[in-house]
Amino acid sequence: MVSKVTQHPSQNEPLLFERSSPGKKGYQLPPLDVPAVDPASALGSENVRDEVAGFPEVSEVETIRHFTRLSTWNYAIDLGLYPLGSCTMKYNPRVNEAAARVDGLAWGHPYQPESLAQGAMEIMALLERYLAEITGMDAVTLQPAAGAHGEFTGILLMRACLESRGDARASILVPDSSHGTNPATARMCGYEVVNVKSTSRGLVDMEHFRGLLNPSVAGIMITNPNTLGLFEENITEITRLLHENGSLVYMDGANMNALAGISRPGDFGIDVMHLNLHKTFSTPHGGGGPGAGPVAVKRLLEPYLPTPRIVQEDDTYRYDYNLPESIGRVRAFYGNFGVFVRALAYILAHGNGLRNATLDALLNANYLRAGIEAHYTLPYTDRSLHEVVFSDAIQAKNGVKTGDIAKRLIDYGFHPYTTSFPLIVPGAMMIEPTETEGKQELDLFIEAMAAIAKEADENPELVLNAPHSTRVRRVDEVTAARKPIVRWEPAG
């Protein structure tokens, strides 16, 4: 039984270019209040194009219908549970959007005088302070544009610190359960990647880890809780051993939603970490961005933070560019300021009650786990924090894989969980509900997962051909990759 959704008509809509007709307009400019200038004489006729061939010509009404119709073809958090593991798809409070659109902030130019930018600088300074408090770190840069960019910045900081000691070292340890950005980042910073094995419980294999320590190890990139949603119980020991080895500890903060208010990375030996404001701090994913990836560091890495840094003198903020040991800029201007506003609005809303949100996130994950456990294989059974990873082992015997179950969830009115990650779980089904789901929505999800397990057993074809209710059926990704069509072209 499908309790959550009913089908209803969905409007068809062509591409903008197929709506286009010469002379249709969706704009009107005010009359020019200065003398007109002939482009050819101002720019040189050789520099002036005739037209932007193929550019659309549509009216305002068609434009809004176009995008509104397309919007209805998407699933969204505002429609229901979005249980993508490691993505932390939580409710995006709308007051955050209103705050980011406050005139003086939205129209702030990064080069306006500091005396006329105090509002924005205070927001950034306060966000830095709050993020340092939440993580237990000493200093924060807000500049990186996203999580992976934060990782890159963080490893550059580690490298700069080690270089200042005279040896950048050669390799970075990365647990095999890590996200693919970690090894990619290490490589981009000039490090060899050494994989650390996991135990049968899904935690860092301490024996293997100890054996890998030697003077060429620059540090580790560790995710805690890890991608299985498990807390690395030996984390204090891991960080201690690395520090004894003269190495530094990077933490991927993607899973900070499990820790905020409960445990602080700075207190268990982390030297540098990034945060995903678009995960833990509720800024919208927007169909794939923008995000922001601030990096928090301990005192020893502070001298290397990107330029400029905000400093406060009495009641005034100013930028300090005179940072001789800095790694320099990693992005133009100061970072994704509009995202900072939203994240700060979120922190202000929870305040010191942030811990309650975290506990609800853990409760939701464990509740889903308890509800689903009877129907799917749970390869790692330690207590889950904010997410839980099942495998398709039972269903795969019938030819039904994690990707098929995921597609069938769509028919039940849900976005799928994360499939096929982490890599150490064959047929992984990674589920993260976040704290912003109520019991009723979770019960519907449990009901859907139970129903699909039954279908996989009794009528696998139904699952294998899912989804059945969407406006497009499974898409041909093979042809898309073999013969890429990546832009519209006029017929003929």
Q: How far is the CB of 214 from other proteins (least distance, A)?
A: 19
Residue at token pair 């300074």:
125
Answer whether 280's CB lies under 8 Å from 88's CB.
yes
Beta bridge partners of 196: 175
**Rule CB under 8 A: which of 322-381 touch other proteins?**
327-339, 341, 345, 347-357, 359-360, 362-364, 366-367, 369-371
Nearer to other proteins, 355 or 397 (CB): 355
In this structure, the strands spanning 428-431 and 388-391 are antiparallel
Residue 408 interacting with other proteins (CB under 8 A): no
Nearer to other proteins, 136 or 457 (CB): 136
Nearer to other proteins, 42 or 491 (CB): 42
Which letter, b or e, does each residue of 396-435 get, where b requires 16 or more Cβ atoms within 10 Å of its Cβ? Answer: bebebbbbbbbbbbbbbbbbbbbbbbbebbebbbbbbbbb
Which of these ranges, 96-104, 198-206, 215-223, 454-462, lies near other proteins under the rule CB under 8 A?
96-104
Which of 3, 7, 114, 119 is the binder for other proteins (CB under 8 A)?
119
**Among 211, 233, 212, 214, residue whose Cα is nearest residue 224:** 233
The dihedral over CA atoms of 76, 79, 80, 86, expressed in degrees to the nearest 10, equals 10
Q: How far is the CB of 355 from other proteins (least distance, A)?
A: 7
Nearer to other proteins, 1 or 475 (CB): 475
Which of 3, 101, 167, 311 is the binder for other proteins (CB under 8 A)?
101
Distance from C-alpha of 163 to C-alpha of 145, rounded to nearest angstrom: 25
Answer whether 382's CB lies under 8 Å from 202's CB.
yes
* Cis previous bond, 215, omega within 30: no
Which of 3, 11, 70, 461 is the binder for other proteins (CB under 8 A)?
70
Q: How far is the CB of 55 from other proteins (least distance, A)?
A: 4
**Rule CB under 8 A: which of 418-437 touch other proteins?**
420-421, 435-437
Give me the phi and psi of 318, to 5 degrees please.
-145, 165
Q: How far is the CB of 343 from other proteins (least distance, A)?
A: 12
- CA dihedral sign of residues 451, 452, 456, 462: positive
Q: How far is the CB of 227 from other proteins (least distance, A)?
A: 12
Q: The tokens of 249 are what?
A: 């500890």
Q: The tokens of 278 are what?
A: 């678009």
Residue 490 interacting with other proteins (CB under 8 A): no
The site for other proteins, by CB under 8 A, has a size of 198
Binding mask 234-273 for other proteins (x = CB under 8 A): -xx-----------------------xxxxx--xx-----
Answer whether 436's CB lies under 8 Å from 467's CB.
no
**Rule CB under 8 A: which of 297-326 touch other proteins?**
none
Q: The tokens of 436 are what?
A: 């912003």
**Rule CB under 8 A: which of 141-170 touch other proteins?**
145-149, 151-152, 156, 159
Which of these ranges, 183-191, 202-210, 211-219, 296-304, lies near other proteins under the rule CB under 8 A?
183-191
Residue at token pair 């041909």:
476
Residue 79 interacting with other proteins (CB under 8 A): yes
Which of 231, 250, 304, 445 is the binder for other proteins (CB under 8 A)?
231
Residue 139 interacting with other proteins (CB under 8 A): no
Q: How far is the CB of 63 from other proteins (least distance, A)?
A: 5
Other Cβ atoms closer than 10 A to 129:
13
Which of these ranges, 243-251, 297-305, 389-397, 476-484, lies near other proteins under the rule CB under 8 A?
476-484
Give me the phi and psi of 71, to 5 degrees please.
-60, -35
CA 73 to chain centre: 22
Residue 201 interacting with other proteins (CB under 8 A): no
Q: How far is the CB of 170 from other proteins (least distance, A)?
A: 12
Which of 1, 6, 42, 313 is the binder for other proteins (CB under 8 A)?
42
Beta bridge partners of 428: 391
Residues whose CB falls within 8 Å of the CB of residue 367, separated by 6 or more in sequence, listed in order: 439, 442
Distance from C-alpha of 250 to C-alpha of 147, rounded to nearest angstrom: 13
Burial of residue 16 (number of CB atoms within 10 Å: 0-12, 13-18, 19+): middle
Which of these ranges, 25-33, 201-209, 210-218, 453-461, lies near other proteins under the rule CB under 8 A?
25-33
Which of these ranges, 201-209, 244-252, 285-293, 452-460, lies near other proteins under the rule CB under 8 A?
285-293
